[in-house]
Structure 1
Amino acid sequence: MKKTTLLLLFILLSATLSAQKSSLHREDIFTQLLVEGKPFLILGGELGNSSAACTQDIERIFPKLQRMGLNTVLVPAYWDLIEPVEGQYDFTLTDKAIEQARANNLKIIFLWFGAWKNSMSCYTPLWFKTNYNKYPRAITQNGKPLEIASAFSDNVRQADNRAFTEWMKHIADVDKTHGTVIMIQIENEIGMLESARDYSQAANQAFQAPVPEKLMNYLQKNKKKLHPQMLKKWEAQGCPRQGNWQAVFGSDIYTDEIFMAWHYANYVEELAQTARSIYNVPLYVNAAMNSRGRQPGEYPSAGPLAHLIDIWHCGAPSIDILAPDLYDNGFKDWVAQYHLHNNPLFIPEIRLADDDGVRAFYVFGEHDAIGFSPFSIEDGSDSQQAPLVQSYGKLKEMMPLLTQYQGKGVMKGLLFDQENKERILHNDDLVITCRHYFTLPWDPRATDGSKWPEGGGIILKISSKEYIVAGSGIVVEFAKSTEKASGNAKELLGEDGFKLKGENEQHSYTESKKFQGKRCGLGSVDEIQINPDGSFGYIRRLNGDQTHQGRHVRISVGDFKILHVKLYEYE
């Protein structure tokens, strides 16, 4: 009997493992997404909120996404349309999305629009909304009920999880042999608005109760690794080991946020465990940013924000990634906040814009990102000259190379605009000066008052004298450190390499001291394609005017290229 039971358990476990087509593989300092056992970068796009609400829209949009070069589409799943009548489920839209994804060679990340979407409970079914006595609302500090279901209600959680369970079972049934669905987002931009926390009776009781032992143990065990903002809050109270929320974290609006984050995380963890038990694909939650100087409640308080990562990791350990939704300025600062030792970078939403093309290059090169996904992607252009289409085409080519070198510290991302024009990198005894393409005066848009589009890309070191430079709108110069140490002033030259007209009144080049050491030159610069096996395919040699007579490597604004650069030394 025991042998039979063990055999059945082994068969069930084997079936579960074989059904799992996507997973996260963690190394010490980076994480890779694996799809069917191979590293995979998400070149994605998220549909607008209502763009997967009818089968005709799905059939119209998905072929366009293939033409745009996506390999993954992020698709909302609406609780109100899945369970329009309590206990009766309709998976028509889910099935249509999966069908169209397979027909157009796309993977899917489903977004569960359940109890909350952008804080609000607008995607809950009407039977849920109208029965507010059974499914209570969150309450503001002044007693106003909100269009936000209370995270402190067992009835809310059970209804949400019941529908989520049936939906996940259906996905597992239709997808276990295909692996079209590679990730699941649970809820959407979860968080409290108007007040930093829920002031319902159940919430107030929980706020006066002791901070759970699980969280206190986590803080003590991970004290040296806590987010600086979390550590500062705890230390300001003397790092107590017990007490209610105000005793442990102080009496302010940010303590309210910490308290609320704990309960949102616990709620999400229940759904995450459901997903794990049914169809074990990677899971994430997304966050609306705490930007523009807003306070908790002015932005969605207590969501999976970077400064709350410890609360979310402790309260929802089954969630793999906290992911930022980016619609504000300061792109580089935001992404740096979310690429942490304990959180890989995935951008499930960013404002759809032409600059997204170079930003995608930047996050894969600088932050070993898992994926990039502009929002309302169906509104983008599928022209082969569109920046995102060009970008995704080159990144798709580069995927074997990028995944091979992820986490090895040999890739850097570049991103420039009109204010931030230059970045200097140091590799061994090389000084690599990278700039926006418009720092060259040859394109009239550089000086005619036009707003500069962002330029960016990836620099990948293959060996000490061999590099890949890829992207758009960048200029890269390689020099030995001895060259920089000699203190030569920069020449002001035209594209032909000669002095610019009108510069003969003064010498723009002076030797500050006798030159010593070696110099670095461009041995060859080839435009290439990357083959599926990672090998290089020659397109053309760039030289003469295209390298400023051997002075630099460049890719024009509006062009996306992959360049293979070989260096040499001379003296």
Structure 2
Amino acid sequence: MTIPHLQDNDGQTVLMVDDKPFIGLAAECHNSSASSTAYMNTQVWPRVLPLNINTLLVPVYWEMIEPKPDRFDFSSVQDLISEAREHQVKLVLLWFGLWKNGLSSYVPGWLKEDSTVRYAQKRDGQHLYSISPADQTAVDLDAKAFGHLMAFIKKTDTQQSTVIMVQVENEVGLLDADFDYSVAKGPALNRPLPDVFGAAPAATWQSQFGPQAGEYYMAFLYASALQTIAAAGKAQYALPMYVNAWLEKPLGRPGAYPTGGPTVKMLPLWQKVATAVDLVAPDLYVPNFEEVSDAYAAPQQALLVPETRQDLRTVSNLIYAISHYNLLLFSPFGAEDFFNQDVTLDAHLLKAVAIDADAFDWSKTGSVLAKAYALLAGMLPLIVQKRQQPQMHSFLISQAADRGRRIKLASCEAAVHFVKQEGNVSPSAGFILELSENEFLLFGLNISVNLSALEPNRNVGLISLEEGTWQDGQWHAGRILNGDERVRIQVGATPQLLKIKTHLY
């Protein structure tokens, strides 16, 4: 059996796990949860398993695995792997090395105390709590530790493939500055562009990118650093690796978001420079889910959502993404919160990460997300086979005035009506998957559907309308909805899967 890997299937990038296509119905725990095995066992696993996840995203901390130079302790990693196997859940490990959210808070104490470490600087010379990507010694130390981690995973996990993917660092880039002024900016921007850009021989950063040259140069430094780190890990154990992006906000300036990170604008540069990184993944808390997903999915032939919002909107985004894009994984953040009804938000934290408070209203999300994951789990092979094919029709309400979609099916037209959105509700979303000329699956929430004939003077009748599940390649019927439900097909605020067979009269 091969190790987890990415594979091209007729133009689709597919994550293969245990030699089968795999989609991560995932959750990410809070940043500090994995630092304690006891905490994971009492506060995380019991709270995330009811979500019906098949994958958990958990951090691995450089400061814990290398507490002293060249002395490695992987006991915490072994505990995570053992717990995941016990619960029959796959893992994605998040390498918190040199940078986490632009800061160097997870580097070992011995490196923090090293007076030769080069910290990034603002224009006025003030040091930032972020080790400069131009500090090659620090980058090499990170790469060495990451290589040891991947070697340990190879030794421990090759046969069982519990760990299926690794995130390299977390939301890299420089906060609170538009450039790392520990680097002499003028001389740096007037250097020739590296050959990888394919520019004219005389081209410099300044001549090629003009006013944005500083941001492009910072992206080059960070992408080069992550190339060094990811390549060191791949040399030991070539699991799929990705980097995640703190997104550039409208009207935002470099430094308000991490300068040099893999934003949409910087994605082509990252793809050229960080070739050992398989994918760039957006952390999606913004309301314009489709727009951002399009921007990352199109050039990569895949979409990976490793971190996303906690409110009910996330369930709608999941349903749309898994049917519309070549989705590899979807993971709401802070999943141990979802069955906790006490929602307390830190206003200072929200301001620091520039995320709207409603994205963290998890009070109603747990049961709805769990139902969606449970229904989708049995459909994953079918979804992988049919997504981006003519038989799959996805829909998601895009704005408050959006009232629905008209979808032409093989034998009739489906008018999908959206529910008016007020407060913390799941926006209308779903998909229709045609199984044959007059039979289809309908999955979604907060929608109603009317069917009409494509031929004049004809009408559409229902041979059957069933609620149920899709398991092992077959339909398993639950209720037969032969009463008033036939007048107008409706799916409420809880995800539901229906199979509909029609006829004309």
TM-score when scaled to structure 1?
0.80
SS in 2 for 1:539: strand
Residues 24-423 of structure 1: matches in 2 within 5 Å? Answer: 24-60=6-42, 61-133=44-116, 135-201=117-183, 205-216=187-198, 242-250=202-210, 252=211, 254-381=212-339, 386-416=367-397, 418-423=400-405
What letter corresponds to residue 152 of structure 2 in structure 1? H
Residue 464 (structure 2) pairs with residue 524 (structure 1): yes
Contact 1:418 1:451 in 2 (8 A): no
What letter corresponds to residue 394 of structure 1 in structure 2? L
Residue 490 (structure 2) pairs with residue 554 (structure 1): yes
**Map of 1:480 onto structure 2:** 453
**Map of 1:565 onto structure 2:** 500
What letter corresponds to residue 287 of structure 2 in structure 1? N
| CA deviation vs aligned residue, 1:257-290 (integer Å, no higher than 9, x gap) | 1121122111111122122221111111000111
SS in 2 for 1:267: helix
What letter corresponds to residue 35 of structure 1 in structure 2? V
**Map of 1:12 onto structure 2:** none
What letter corresponds to residue 38 of structure 1 in structure 2? K
What letter corresponds to residue 354 of structure 1 in structure 2? L
Contact 2:134 2:183 in 1 (8 A): no
> How far apart, in 2, do the equivalents of 1:148 and 1:396 lie?
41
**Map of 1:227 onto structure 2:** none
Check 1:30–1:69 CA distance in 2 against 1; reply closer, same or farther (3 A cut).
same
> CA shift at 1:185, angstroms?
0.3
> CA shift at 1:471, angstroms?
2.0
SS in 2 for 1:459: strand
| CA deviation vs aligned residue, 1:392-432 (integer Å, no higher than 9, x gap) | 11111211221221342432332237443312233457432
> How far apart, in 1, do the equivalents of 2:284 and 2:410 lie?
35
SS in 1 for 2:432: strand
Check 1:124–1:184 CA distance in 2 against 1; reply closer, same or farther (3 A cut).
same
Residues 440-455 of structure 1: matches in 2 within 5 Å? Answer: 452-455=425-428
> How far apart, in 1, do the equivalents of 2:311 and 2:424 lie?
14
Contact 1:283 1:320 in 2 (8 A): yes
Contact 2:179 2:215 in 1 (8 A): yes
Check 1:115–1:414 CA distance in 2 against 1; reply closer, same or farther (3 A cut).
same
Residues 434-513 of structure 1: matches in 2 within 5 Å? Answer: 434-436=416-418, 438=419, 452-482=425-455
> How far apart, in 2, do the equivalents of 1:568 and 1:255 lie?
62
Check 1:206–1:410 CA distance in 2 against 1; reply closer, same or farther (3 A cut).
farther
What letter corresponds to residue 209 of structure 2 in structure 1? F
What letter corresponds to residue 388 of structure 1 in structure 2? L
Most deviating of 560-569 and 377-386: 377-386
- Out of 531, 535, 540, the position equivalent to 2:479 is 540
Contact 2:140 2:228 in 1 (8 A): no
Check 1:385–1:125 CA distance in 2 against 1; reply closer, same or farther (3 A cut).
closer
> How far apart, in 1, do the equivalents of 2:394 and 2:115 lie?
50
Check 1:166–1:451 CA distance in 2 against 1; reply closer, same or farther (3 A cut).
closer
Check 1:201–1:415 CA distance in 2 against 1; reply closer, same or farther (3 A cut).
closer
> CA shift at 1:539, angstroms?
1.2
> How far apart, in 1, do the equivalents of 2:393 and 2:221 lie?
38
> How far apart, in 1, do the equivalents of 2:476 and 2:400 lie?
34
Contact 2:301 2:326 in 1 (8 A): no
SS in 2 for 1:373: strand
> How far apart, in 1, do the equivalents of 2:403 and 2:125 lie?
51
> How far apart, in 2, do the equivalents of 1:274 and 1:321 lie?
17
SS in 2 for 1:457: strand
| CA deviation vs aligned residue, 1:152-175 (integer Å, no higher than 9, x gap) | 121111111111111111111111
> How far apart, in 1, do the equivalents of 2:333 and 2:24 lie?
14
> How far apart, in 1, do the equivalents of 2:5 and 2:68 lie?
34
> How far apart, in 1, do the equivalents of 2:403 and 2:334 lie?
30
SS in 1 for 2:441: strand
| Structure 1 unaligned regions, length at least 5 | 1-17, 218-239, 440-445, 483-515
> How far apart, in 2, do the equivalents of 1:336 and 1:428 lie?
27
> How far apart, in 2, do the equivalents of 1:539 and 1:399 lie?
20
> CA shift at 1:452, angstroms?
4.6
Contact 1:465 1:567 in 2 (8 A): yes
> How far apart, in 2, do the equivalents of 1:170 and 1:451 lie?
44
> CA shift at 1:347, angstroms?
0.6
SS in 2 for 1:24: strand
Contact 1:285 1:319 in 2 (8 A): yes
> How far apart, in 2, do the equivalents of 1:481 and 1:242 lie?
62
Residue 369 (structure 2) pairs with residue 433 (structure 1): no
**Map of 1:488 onto structure 2:** none
> How far apart, in 1, do the equivalents of 2:149 and 2:300 lie?
30
Contact 1:522 1:568 in 2 (8 A): yes
> How far apart, in 2, do the equivalents of 1:343 and 1:400 lie?
18
Check 1:430–1:210 CA distance in 2 against 1; reply closer, same or farther (3 A cut).
farther
Contact 2:102 2:130 in 1 (8 A): yes
Most deviating of 370-379 and 190-199: 190-199
Contact 2:411 2:438 in 1 (8 A): no
What letter corresponds to residue 356 of structure 1 in structure 2? T
Check 1:470–1:520 CA distance in 2 against 1; reply closer, same or farther (3 A cut).
same
Check 1:160–1:352 CA distance in 2 against 1; reply closer, same or farther (3 A cut).
same
**Map of 1:15 onto structure 2:** none
SS in 1 for 2:123: coil
SS in 2 for 1:303: coil
SS in 1 for 2:33: coil
SS in 2 for 1:478: strand
> How far apart, in 2, do the equivalents of 1:372 and 1:338 lie?
14
| CA deviation vs aligned residue, 1:459-518 (integer Å, no higher than 9, x gap) | 112233221101222112232345xxxxxxxxxxxxxxxxxxxxxxxxxxxxxxxxx354
Check 1:156–1:148 CA distance in 2 against 1; reply closer, same or farther (3 A cut).
same
Superposed CA RMSD in Å reads: 2.2
What letter corresponds to residue 564 of structure 1 in structure 2? K
Contact 1:470 1:563 in 2 (8 A): yes
- Quick check: which has more Rg, 1 or 2? 1
SS in 2 for 1:423: strand
> How far apart, in 1, do the equivalents of 2:50 and 2:271 lie?
38
TM-score when scaled to structure 2?
0.90
